[in-house]
Chain A
Amino acid sequence: METSDKNTIINSKSMAIDIEKIRKEFPILHQQVNGKPLVYFDNAATTQKPQVVIDSLVKYYATINSNVHRGIHTLSEKATAEYESSREAVKTFINASAREEIIFTKGTTESINLVAATWGRQNIKKGDILVLSAMEHHSNMVPWQMLAQEKEAVVRYIPINDKGELILEALDKLFLGNIKLVAVNHVSNTLGTINPVKEIAKKAKKVGAVVVVDGAQAAGHLDLDVQDLQVDFYAFSGHKMYAPTGIGVLYGKKELLESMPPYQGGGEMISEVSYDTCSFNELPYKFEAGTPNIADAIVLKTAIQFINSVGKKVIREQESKVFKRALEQIQTIEGLKLIGTASEKVGVLSFVIEGIHHQDLGILLDQEGIAVRTGHHCTQPLMSKFGIAGTTRASFALYNTEEETDILVRGIKKAIKMLK
C-alpha cells in the first residue's frame, strides 16, 4: 500500500494490515506444493516463521552460541544476557509479575507435565477431584488422568453444548467436593472456542482449586494477562506463535513454584551437591535442569517482538476477516457441517462432510497445494461427544488471505465431486 511506511507492516492511516508486506516476511509461503501455490491453513498445528525469526536463529549460532549461566567468558555472558532478556520479554508478553515466574520448557505438553509431576504429585491425594473441560487436547488431559490413576483421584469434566461452548451453569455442581485442580484450555484447538478462563478461574479460586490453563492456541491470537486472568499456571508453545519448535513456556505463580519440588535433576537446577545430598537452585532455574534450548529461547523474544510490531488486535482482525469469508462460503457446500460454532472463536474452521472421509479430503486438498489438518486433532473424547471420528480443520494465521479461502472452497468442491 502506497500510504504505508516502508518499515511497518501496518498502514499507518487506516491501521489496516498490508497483507502483501506481511506475506513477504514469510519465505516459506512463496513456494509451489504439488505444482500449486501453497495455501497454508494448518496454523493451529504450527505457524510459519517470519524472516526475522529465521535470521535471529542463524545470528545466534553465528555470533554468540555458548552455554548459559556458568561461563566466565564473553560469549557465555552474551548468550546468558540474551536468554534472560527473552525471559523478560515473555514476562511482559503475558504480564507476569516477576521473571522468576517464567520457566522455559520444550512446549505446552512439557509445561503441563511439569505441573502434574511436581505440584500434582505433591498435592493430589486419594479421593481428590480434578476438573477438566470436555474439550481438552490430550496434552491437558492425559497428564491429569495419569496423575489421577496414580493417586486414585477423581476426574470430572465440564460439559459442552452443541455449539462447542463450555456449560458454565454446570460449574457450581461440578465444583462441589474436594476440588484440587481445574485445567482448561484458553482456546480449543479443534473447535476454536475461546473459553471464559477468567470466569472459570474466579469460581475455581472460591473453592480453593489451582487453575492450570493450556494457552497453546491462544498465545498467537489473544492478548494475554495472567494476572488479570488470575490463573496459577499458564502454558504455551513458541512454535504456534511464529517462533521455532522446541521452546515453550510455563508461567506459574511464584509462591506455588517455590513450594514445588524440582521436575528433573541435573545441572543448572542445583545450588550445591555432595555425595550425600543436594540443595536446589532458586527460581526459575530449579525447573530448568540441564543445558536449556538456548537458541530457541532467545529467538522466542524475536517472535514476540514480531507479534508486537504487528499488534495482536491487527492479527485478530485479519484472521477474523479471513475466517468470516471462509465461513460464508463454506456453508454453501451441501452436506457440510461445522463442528464448533461458539460465539467467541478464533480463526479455526472445523467441519465434516456427509459421506466423505476427512483423510480422503485432506489428501485431495494437498494435491491442490492446500495444507489442512484432518483427524481427531488429539481430542478423541471430544470427537466421540460429537459422534464423529474426525474433522477437516482449516486454521488461520495473520498471513492468510481471503483469496486463499476461495481456493480452499474450490478445492473442497472439486474433492467432493471426485469422491462422491
Chain B
Amino acid sequence: MNKSATIEAIQEEIANEFEFFDEWDEKYGYIIELGKKLPPLPEESKIESNIIKGCQSQVWMTSTYTDGKVYYRADSDAIIVKGLISLLIRVLSEHSPSEIVSGDLFFLDKIGMMQHLSQTRSNGLASMVKQMKLHALAYKAKSL
C-alpha cells in the first residue's frame, strides 16, 4: 500500500468518517470494530522492551524503517485502546520521519476521543504517541 495522503489529510478523512455517527454507541462500535480488525502483534514482539505500560491496559509497539518511511505495528489488551491505536497507525504509519515528528495530531480531539489520550494513568495511549514520534526521531537521526 502506498500512501500519498498527508498526515493532515488522513486526519481530516477520519474526522469526516466520524461525522456520520449520531450516537455514542455507533462511534464506539466502529472503534471496537477497528480494534478487532487490527492484526495482533506476534507473541515474540510482546516483550518488555516494546511495552508501553498504563495503569489498566497496556500497549505494545514496534516500528520498522524502509525506503525512507516508518512502519508501525501495535497491539493492546483492551479493545477500545486497540481501535484508537489502529487510527493512530493509519495516520502516522508510512510517512517519513520528518513528517511524523512535525505532524500535529488533532483528529482525536475532532472525533471526541481526546479524553482517552489524556488519561495517561489508565492506558498507554498518550505514551504511545510520544513513542511513535521518538522512533521517528531516531530514524531521522540515523538517516542524516
Interface residue ranges, A against B (CB under 8 Å)? 34-35, 357-360, 362-364, 367, 374-376, 389-390, 414, 418-419
Q: Point out the residue from B25, B28, B29, B122 that lies within 8 Å of A359, measured CB to CB.
A: B122
Q: With the chains together, A419 CA to B55 CA distance in Å?
A: 21
Among A359, A362, A364, A414, the one with the most B-chain Cβ atoms within 10 Å of its Cβ is A359
**Contact of A357 with B25 at beta-carbon distance under 8 Å, contacts A374-B56, A418-B32, A419-B32 already known:** no
The one of B29, B77, B81 in contact with A418, judged by C-beta atoms closer than 8 angstroms, is B29
Classify chain B's interface size. 10 to 19
Report A-chain residues with C-beta under 8 Å of the C-beta of B80. Answer: 359-360, 363-364
- A101 and B6 CA atoms in complex are apart in Å by 67
Docked complex Cα distance between A34 and B115 (Å): 13
Residue from B32, B56, B77, B81 having most chain A Cβ neighbours under 10 A: B56
Q: If the complex has contacts A375-B56, A390-B56, are A357 and B32 also in contact, measured as CB distance less than 8 A? A: no
Whether B123 sits at the interface, judged by CB under 8 Å, is: yes
Q: For the complex, would chain A's binding face be called helix, strand, loop or mixed by DSSP majority?
A: helix
In the complex, the 4 A-B pairs of residues with the closest C-beta atoms, listed nearest first:
A357-B78, A359-B56, A359-B78, A375-B56
A360-B25 in contact given A374-B56, A375-B55, A419-B32 (Cβ < 8 Å): no
Offer 16 A-B interface pairs, CB within 8 angstroms, sorted by A: A357-B78, A357-B79, A358-B56, A359-B122, A359-B123, A362-B56, A363-B28, A363-B80, A364-B28, A364-B80, A367-B25, A376-B56, A390-B56, A418-B29, A419-B32, A419-B79
Give the CA-CA distance A359 to B29 in the complex, in Å. 15
User: How distant is A79 from chain B, measured CB to nearest CB, in Å?
Assistant: 36
Q: How far is the CA of A360 from the CA of B83 in the complex (A)?
A: 11
Pairwise interchain contact B28-A375, C-beta atoms closer than 8 A = no
Residues 19-33 of B contacting A (Cβ, < 8 Å): 24-25, 28-29, 32
Chain B residues, Cβ within 8 Å of A360: 32, 78-80
- Contact of A418 with B24 in the complex, beta carbons under 8 Å: no
